[in-house]
Structure 1
């Protein structure tokens, strides 16, 4: 079975280069191409490619506009972003809109095919470089919120050491309800849902130490 690919990129040379790349793989055929987002949406109104390779910076309608259209009207079509833009904000926005992959235009041919293959199967795959951008951004956003009080740090350390809430309450001369309330506050600050997640994140960011 040959998968029908649609290329959306405002650079003619990029579109031609991608055609040459996909001509080497019998599983894919470049059947549609658009030089801007407006053209892409017009094609998508009448056609259903098996996958869209989408740039971000384009005239008239940019890649986010196309991705939003696909998200709202034909979410079953997998999209792999192929761009020069490597900001965490752009990557996260595209992934939230449903993109199955995010490639930079210096990606190797093998990486392109691996990502496209995965997207066709409905899976998400990111280059290590792209994953690192997203991860580092999330860590930078989270760390300022980790302003735990001395008491909260002691409670989290006790949780890490395996103490039960009852024991922690006795140790701090407060009720179990108070400890539970303080734990909820800790989880909120750290944007986690469980004690295990809080401890793992705290250890990772050198907030507590486990002997």
Structure 2
């Protein structure tokens, strides 16, 4: 049986080493690379081609959400498991927007982390029991009102996904910066997000934007 290839990314050396040690004792799991920041995690995924990226949220250089977005674009087959101390509503919203396969609190016991890793390896999803109810409620609220973007709002969203800033979007679409910002506000509201990064992640999740858009 093939082993589950895992990249572990966490800026706290003690935490990262503890996770790597725990995974080393699990049958069918092999840590193929480690990283201490966002750029390092992206490089590790590119170089090691893992099945699973175990990722912290708060990291230097590039946070876990931005890192996950990049990995989603470059390696959509890699499953993402967030291991973090951040379980506030804003963080959960971003995890949902990214459609991450797993979320485990750092307060969870090692056995729970290993269970989550095994489940993701089997194609399942996992959310820590202490945040499962909140995550379910947030997901339900987001699905109640699907996005109904106007054609111009979609143009702005596509430009945002290409990495353009509001001023650049305005020039590209021959609009005023104020109009672009108004469209962005509408897009954020309809997607149930608060930032451009969240909007892009949610757009990919809903299929409103693809790598070919």
- Shorter-normalised TM range: 0.5 to 0.7
1:5 aligns with 2:6: yes
Instruction: State the partner residue of 1:29.
Output: 30
What is the CA-CA distance between 1:11 and the residue it aligns to?
Answer: 0.3
Could you say if the C-alpha distance between residues 24 and 60 of structure 1 is closer, same or farther in structure 2, counting changes exceeding 3 Å?
Answer: same
Could you say if the C-alpha distance between residues 59 and 15 of structure 1 is closer, same or farther in structure 2, counting changes exceeding 3 Å?
Answer: same
**Higher gyration radius (CA):** 1
What is the CA-CA distance between 1:103 and the residue it aligns to?
Answer: 0.5
Could you say if the C-alpha distance between residues 52 and 138 of structure 1 is closer, same or farther in structure 2, counting changes exceeding 3 Å?
Answer: closer
Secondary structure at the counterpart of residue 31 of structure 1: strand
What is the CA-CA distance between 1:140 and the residue it aligns to?
Answer: 9.1
What is the CA-CA distance between 1:46 and the residue it aligns to?
Answer: 2.8
Distance 1:98 1:67 in 2: 10
CA-atom RMSD in angstroms: 2.1
Secondary structure at the counterpart of residue 130 of structure 1: helix
Distance 1:106 1:126 in 2: 13
1:124 aligns with 2:150: no
Larger displacement relative to structure 2 (127-136 or 63-72): 127-136
- TM-score if structure 2 supplies the norm length? 0.61
Instruction: State the partner residue of 2:89.
Output: 88
Could you say if the C-alpha distance between residues 32 and 139 of structure 1 is closer, same or farther in structure 2, counting changes exceeding 3 Å?
Answer: closer
Task: For residues 111-140 of structure 1, give each alpha carbon's deviation from its aligned partner in whole angstroms, at most 9, with x where no partner exists.
Answer: 112211111222212122111232455789
Instruction: State the partner residue of 2:179.
Output: none
Instruction: State the partner residue of 1:50.
Output: 51
Structure 1 contact 75–98 (Cα < 8 Å) conserved: no
Task: For residues 63-87 of structure 1, give each alpha carbon's deviation from its aligned partner in whole angstroms, at most 9, with x where no partner exists.
Answer: 0111101211111111110000011
Structure 1 contact 37–59 (Cα < 8 Å) conserved: yes
Instruction: State the partner residue of 2:19.
Output: 18
Larger relative contact order (CA 8 Å, sep ≥ 6): 2
Secondary structure at the counterpart of residue 48 of structure 2: coil
Instruction: State the partner residue of 1:105.
Output: 106
What is the CA-CA distance between 1:44 and the residue it aligns to?
Answer: 2.1
Instruction: State the partner residue of 1:66.
Output: 67
The count of corresponding residues between Structure 1 and Structure 2 is 142
Secondary structure at the counterpart of residue 46 of structure 1: helix
Distance 1:76 1:140 in 2: 27
Distance 2:44 2:21 in 1: 22
Instruction: State the partner residue of 1:75.
Output: 76
